Structure 1
Amino acid sequence: MIHRYKNNGYNIVLDVNSGSVHVVDELVYDIIGLLDQGKQENEIQEELKNTYKEDDIRTACKEIQELKDAGMLFTEDIYRNAIEHFKERETVVKALCLHIAHDCNLACRYCFAEEGEYHGRRAMMSYEVGKQALDFLIANSGNRKNLEVDFFGGEPLMNWDVVKKLVEYGREQEKLHNKNFRFTLTTNGVLLNDEIMEFANKEMANVVLSIDGRKEVHDFMRPFRKGAGSYDLVVPKFQKFAESRGEKSYYARGTFTRHNLDFAEDVLHLADLGFDQISVEPVVADEKEEYALQWEDVPKICEEYDKLAKEMIKRKKEGRGFNFFHFMIDLTGGPCVYKRLSGCGSGTEYLAVTPWGDLYPCHQFVGEEKFLMGNVWDGVKRTDICKEFKDCNVYAKEKCQNCFAKFYCSGGCAANSYNFHGAINDVYELGCELQRKRVECAIMLKAAEAAEAEEN
């Protein structure tokens, strides 16, 4: 499968199955397009004879054939035949999303967690439940050494003492069981203080700082319950926190909605505030919501991604570069085959834990009782749910078959598929369209990076 496109002056050809990327001239771009239509060399000569010289066409066809022979163009899909073996693979639990607090001190308009309640009741996870969750993870992680625990909410800082105790317990268990815990934290910043920052910088491998961008955007979408905005309170704290992280990871993470389709301005605003690790993602919501993205918004959103990518090239040359999560792509290594085929591992390797210890496939399924898999004391009882998620991959989704981005998005989010179609083996089409655009921009940025390196 071949995907050709033009972006920012580059003619780019992606060989989907091998992952090879080629930046080519107009002649090669046109020939590859005709080859993809099934044309033979003599037909290509006839079709292009009025545009290019015959010798140039012949030389280009020879070079293209050499790429084909080298397994870098028009390659076969070697993964499809392995899919049955892939579905039967052994899996262990390697990550938990601990819902440390089903409560929040903000009332974000787009929150899928309903201000932290998740279709249920407000609650705080006790130390005993959290401790049992870590014991469950250790017991079900097999020989895997590296484990991840995400402190999530609601707002985790509303239950900070339990977070600290669980980190301490986890560090004790590492030595006893030859494990290594990678703890992460997501926060809205309202309760951040120096003590929390110091602890997080010591113990949290990554922190996610929830901020939507410009003051007017952030305050409209992320207000306190009485309506006041939270921007002025959290921004200084987040700036201090990000700066104090040193070499440790963090993300300033936002959401854009129909109210700020010019979201590139929000990304750049965050960069101007000093954040160099940024993720601003499209809202996923029922189309009836006034802030939900609509199909008619897609051209504008794609235009913004192009605008952002070009500005990132410019800023990098000026020494003001930053990373944008959705444009980060590894063309030389990247995730393993399993990740490329099945994504995040929800329902199999990654589970969410409620404050009272119930297990769900991921945080977005919490509260959907049909996806209740078990609990941290008795383990996973609904192995049928686990199998359903294990069988969920790019080849199980009809709409993924002819999509050039399938090995980058791994078939997309199962929760989005379920929320829009009632089944995890479908896709959220609008999200797919935006994903394809992001992949195109990400590859273009790599092309620009390579061109600059060659120039230098």
Structure 2
Amino acid sequence: MTTIKPMIHKYCQNGTYMLLDVNSGIINVIDKMTYDILDVYDGTNKDAVYEAFAGAYAREDIAETLGELDELIEKELLFAPMAEDFQVVAEEEPIVKSLCLNIAHDCNLRCKYCFASQGDYDTHKRELMSFDVAKRAVDLLIRSTEGKRQHCEIDFFGGEPLMNFDVVKQTIEYIREQEKIHDKVFKLSLTTNGMLLDPAKVKYLTENHISLILSLDGHPEVHNRMRPDAGGRGSYDSCAKNLVYAAEHRDGEEYYVRGTYTKYNLDFAKDVEHMADLGFEGLSMEPVVGDDLSYAITEDDLPRIYEEYDRLTDLYLQRMDEGRPFIYYHFIMDLYRGPCIAKRLRGCGAGHEYMCVVPNGDIYPCHQFVGQDEYVIGNVYDGVTDTKLPPLFRDMHVLNKPICCDCWAKFFCSGGCHANNIKYGGDIKTPYALSCKIQKKRIECAMYIQAVLAMRGQKVRLFGDDRDDCEGCGACE
């Protein structure tokens, strides 16, 4: 059991003073005097506040502000406590709820920043998953959740999954059969670079309700520089054409376009705007993660990146005003029906709720660990056989990470990516500092957008119904 101490975070964006009460999740827009007073006031030390601001603000104004803050404290909307007996319940056995199927360890692009080493995950062996392996993965997922959870998820991943489209189709058809037999509801998605996304595939994926994650890096010169094809030629023209067609023929089915920014395009708001102008409604731009200093992001780039997120925030609000809105993944912060506290603490669930299956049937904690033999935790024929790694990953919620416990953003970031923490933070308990700093900036922008839209009587737009229905998992008991 961990004590979660009261905490606030305040900042100023675009002349607006923002206040977050960390434990309650309440966001307030405040004035400059309140902002200053909260540098000193902790709910118990009024005399110190009067002394600190005697020459700056009138005593009666300070008293009025302190009274308003005390009202919030009394209602547990400021310096809110957490229940003393709160704990994150741990399952005895991993309940695999979501699978990434690396349906193809091959790719028709040679992206320079690819963590999967252009598709083969550093195995030097390009291969496609058989239907037998995919079928057994589905069966494993059903067995793991039988009697415990109705909703399951599978993402078809790679490499490039459309290089193995026949097995993708066979697997989808098998899943739809098994849904009826076992009373399951599968949410299916497919991540693709779009090179092979022809009208027939778009039609099939749309009719079968497959969510799409589509890859495009923005302007042609930006995209082509980092995402050449296997012959070294730029891939923008083919990718953009196919992705635009897919987006126009989604018939209401969910999709978003995901890009990556590097040191070469720190002005990535322009790339987001370019993709929005192509007609894409759902967008995301992720910072590159990599060791190649020619394109890798470093601490020196952070001031420029922060400025760009501010520009992107302004662009987001401007296009809403103009009636040309887009949905931006990192600005989604649903304060009305967002994830529960247990999910916020645990994040993606890699290694215990979410796992990755590769073409030979081996199971890894997630796709980021593929190719590292020490992280194989089982296979689709025998199930999850490792008894040490799943409990380790399960217990890596933010309350077991000392740095995260003292961080105001812990209920939004969930402690970061386990794989990146291990590789760049030094161990699974230590968050990757550079990623943390970028994440905090995005959260601040998202909260600012929430505040602006709330004052207008509007809400942040979501990807479809972006809510996971609670199924009584017991994690917050």
Match of 1:196 in 2: 201
CA contact (8 A) 1:17 1:78 kept: no
AA partner of residue 321 (structure 1): P
* Structure 2 partner of 1:423: 427
In the alignment of these two chains, the number of paired residues is 450
Tell whether 2:29 aligns with 1:23.
Answer: yes
Q: Which moved more, 1:200-209 or 1:310-319?
A: 200-209
Higher helix share: 1
Following TM superposition, by how much is the alpha carbon of 1:44 offset from its aligned partner in structure 2, in angstroms? Answer: 1.4
Confirm or deny that 1:373 pairs with 2:377: yes
Residue deviations 1:56-105 (CA, integer Å, cap 9, x gap):
211111110010010100112437x533x523576511111000000000
Distance (Å, rounded) in 2 between the aligned partners of 1:448 and 1:246: 31
Q: Distance in 1 between matches of 2:92 and 2:440?
A: 29
* Secondary structure, aligned partner of 2:420: helix
Tell me, yes or no, if structure 1 residue 272 matches structure 2 residue 277.
Answer: yes
Aligned to 1:245: 250
- The CA deviation at 1:423 is 2.2
Question: 2:12 — aligned with what?
Answer: 6
Give matches, 1:384-395, under 5 Å.
384-395=388-399
- Choose which of 197, 211, 229 in structure 2 pairs with 1:224: 229
Cα deviations across residues 314-362 of structure 1 (Å, max 9, x unaligned)?
A: 1101101111111111223311122111110000111100011100000
Q: Deviations over 1:45-66 (max 9, x none)?
A: 2322333222221111111001
Residue of structure 2 in register with 1:360 after alignment: 364
Correspondence 1:97 to 2:100: yes
Q: Is the 8 A contact 1:101 1:123 kept in 2?
A: yes
Provide the residue aligned with 2:81 in structure 1. 76
Counterpart mapping for 1:3-402 below 5 A: 3-36=9-42, 40-78=45-83, 81-83=85-87, 85-88=88-91, 91-120=94-123, 121-142=125-146, 143-286=148-291, 288-402=292-406
C-alpha RMSD of the superposition? 1.5
Quote how far apart the aligned CAs of 1:422 are: 4.3
For the 8 Å contact 2:369–2:375, the answer to whether it is kept is yes
Q: Matched residues, percent identical?
A: 47
TM-score by length of 1: 0.96
Unaligned runs of 5+ residues in structure 1 are none
Taking structure 2 as the reference length, the TM-score comes to 0.92
Structure 2 CA distance for partners of 1:6 and 1:119, relative to 1, 3 Å: same
Tell me how far apart the structure 2 counterparts of residues 289 and 130 of structure 1 sit (CA, whole Å). 38
Deviation at 1:43, TM superposition (A): 2.3
Given residue 22 of structure 2, which amino acid in structure 1 is its aligned partner?
V
| Cα pair distance change 1:88/1:160, threshold 3 Å | closer
The answer to whether the 8 Å contact 1:184/1:206 transfers is yes
Q: Please say if residues 213 and 269 of structure 1, whose CA atoms lie closer than 8 Å, have aligned partners that are also in contact.
A: yes
CA distance in 2, matches of 1:174, 1:344: 24
**1:116 Cα deviation (Å)?**
0.7
Other structure's SS at 2:145 match: coil
Deviation by residue 1:233-290 (Cα, 9 ceiling, x = unmatched): 111211111121132110110100111111111111111111110011001112x432
How big is the shift at 1:151?
Answer: 0.2
Deviates more, 1:355-364 or 1:54-63: 54-63
SS of aligned partner of 2:333: coil
- 8 Å CA contact 2:109–2:229 kept in 1: the answer is yes
Spell out, residue by residue over 1:144-173, the C-alpha distance to the aligned partner (whole angstroms, 9 max, x if none): 111111000000000001100100011111
Does the Cα contact within 8 Å between 1:4 and 1:33 map onto a contact in 2?
Answer: no
Output the CA distance in 2 between the equivalents of 1:376 and 1:441: 42
> Alpha carbons of 1:272 and 1:345: their partners in 2 closer, same or farther (altered >3 Å)?
same
Unaligned 5+ segments in structure 2 are: 1-6, 459-477
Letter in 2 for 1:357: G
Which ranges of 4 or more aligned residues in structure 1 deviate by more than 6 Å?
none
The SS at the match of 1:440 is helix
